[in-house]
Structure 1
Amino acid sequence: MGLMERVLTMVFGGQSNVVRDTVEVFRENAEAGAVRNAHVQGQAMTQFGTEFMVERRGGFDRFMDGLNRLPRPALALGTLGLFVSAMVAPLWFSERMQGIALVPEPLWWLLGVIVSFYFGARHQVKAQEFQREITDTIIRVPQVLNNIQEIRKMAADSVAAADTGPDATLAATAVKSEGNAALEAWQRSRA
């Protein structure tokens, strides 16, 4: 029993695990790899976060944003225009389509790649802006909840809703009797 215990302790226990150390020569430790990957991912997200933290948008950036918004409506309206031109001037439309038929296939592939990258990059930028807006909204949640609590304290059915606090002028105004027109009219009718 003592011999088996020493052999098993030497292989699996003690300060080092011979089997684990041998396997790690040929295969990465999955747990350590996951920790490294999480660390790298965290650093990348931190870098991206700092990159987009400050909004530095000058006139040129706004102009480029406006220019970047043109292709999508232009493609949609252009396609609708082709349908209209096919109905209004079929011969003119047919002539243009014959010209498009002469465009070589590699050029169509290149156009597809350019359009795909444009819309993919645009989608990514908009998704990042949306995430930033969500983060800004979440940051404001505690203030909104505090405001809601303050508003609920002002409700007419809440305790001490009509409390004037230390303001003596407001307290005197609150208990000051104003004329009751109906009561005065009734009193006049009885006199």
Structure 2
Amino acid sequence: MGLISGIMGFFFGNGRNVLVETAQVFRPNAEQTAMRDADAKSESLQQFAAEFAHARQGLFDRAVDALNRLPRPMLALGTIWLFVMAMVDPDSFAAGMTGLALVPEPLWWLMGAIVSFYFGARHQAKEQDFQRVLAAAAAASEAATRKPAPAADDSNPALRDWQASHGI
């Protein structure tokens, strides 16, 4: 009996489990990994939501937003106007198209880069606003669904020891 209790004490004594500790060297504990992943996700969502929490309400911000809304409608209406000019005044339209044909190719590349960067920056700004809204919604949803930790049952010493060893 002394030999068996000594072996059992070696493996399971002092609140440890040598078998589990050895297995965790080769394969991580899935429950603890899931808890760490959930905590990391929650913290990153909270940080992301806090980063974009400020609202742009100033006059300058509203004016810049209004100016940023002009190029797309102007490009669309300008293209439609070209069709109207081709029908209304074909000679002026032909002269304008001849002038465009004389524009050197590097200038067209420059114009394409400017327009691409403008619309790319606008898309990025809108995407970041959308991500901010999603992060705030996800953080609010996670906070609403998070369950409180169960209260410790003082009448069960084994449960108290287990909760203390797991940081609960």
What's the counterpart of residue 101 of structure 2?
101
Give ranges in structure 2 of 5+ residues lacking alignment. 1-42, 146-168
What's the counterpart of residue 113 of structure 1?
113
After TM superposition, give the deviation of residue 134 of structure 1 in Å.
1.9
Deviations 1:56-78 (A, max 9, x none): 43101110010011001100110
Provide the C-alpha distance between the structure 1 equivalents of 2:140 and 2:130, rounded to a whole number of angstroms: 16
Provide the C-alpha distance between the structure 2 equivalents of 1:75 and 1:101, rounded to a whole number of angstroms: 19
Provide the C-alpha distance between the structure 2 equivalents of 1:119 and 1:55, rounded to a whole number of angstroms: 23
- Give secondary structure in 1 for the equivalent of 2:54: coil
After TM superposition, give the deviation of residue 135 of structure 1 in Å.
2.5
The structure-2 alpha-carbon separation of the partners of 1:139 and 1:51, relative to structure 1 and needing over 3 Å to count, comes to closer
What's the counterpart of residue 11 of structure 1?
none
- Give secondary structure in 2 for the equivalent of 1:103: coil
The structure-2 alpha-carbon separation of the partners of 1:82 and 1:70, relative to structure 1 and needing over 3 Å to count, comes to same
Percent sequence identity over matched residues? Answer: 57
Provide the C-alpha distance between the structure 2 equivalents of 1:56 and 1:84, rounded to a whole number of angstroms: 40
Contact 2:49 2:132 in 1 (8 A): no
Provide the C-alpha distance between the structure 1 equivalents of 2:83 and 2:92, rounded to a whole number of angstroms: 12
Provide the C-alpha distance between the structure 1 equivalents of 2:112 and 2:57, rounded to a whole number of angstroms: 31
Normalised by the length of structure 2, the TM-score is 0.52
After TM superposition, give the deviation of residue 52 of structure 1 in Å.
2.9
Q: Which amino acid aligns with 2:66?
A: G
- Give secondary structure in 1 for the equivalent of 2:77: helix
Provide the C-alpha distance between the structure 1 equivalents of 2:56 and 2:130, rounded to a whole number of angstroms: 17
What's the counterpart of residue 76 of structure 2?
76
What's the counterpart of residue 130 of structure 2?
130
The structure-2 alpha-carbon separation of the partners of 1:127 and 1:138, relative to structure 1 and needing over 3 Å to count, comes to same
Q: Which amino acid aligns with 2:54?
A: V
Normalised by the length of structure 1, the TM-score is 0.47
1:39-58 matches, within 5 Å, as 51-58=51-58
Deviations 1:28-52 (A, max 9, x none): xxxxxxxxxxxxxx99xx5x76553
Provide the C-alpha distance between the structure 1 equivalents of 2:82 and 2:126, rounded to a whole number of angstroms: 29
After TM superposition, give the deviation of residue 112 of structure 1 in Å.
0.4
1:1-191 matches, within 5 Å, as 51-141=51-141
Please tell me whether Structure 1 or Structure 2 has the larger radius of gyration of its CA atoms.
Answer: 1
Give ranges in structure 1 of 5+ residues lacking alignment. 1-41, 146-191
Greater relative contact order: 1 or 2 (C-alpha under 8 angstroms, separation 6 or more)?
A: 2
After TM superposition, give the deviation of residue 96 of structure 1 in Å.
0.8
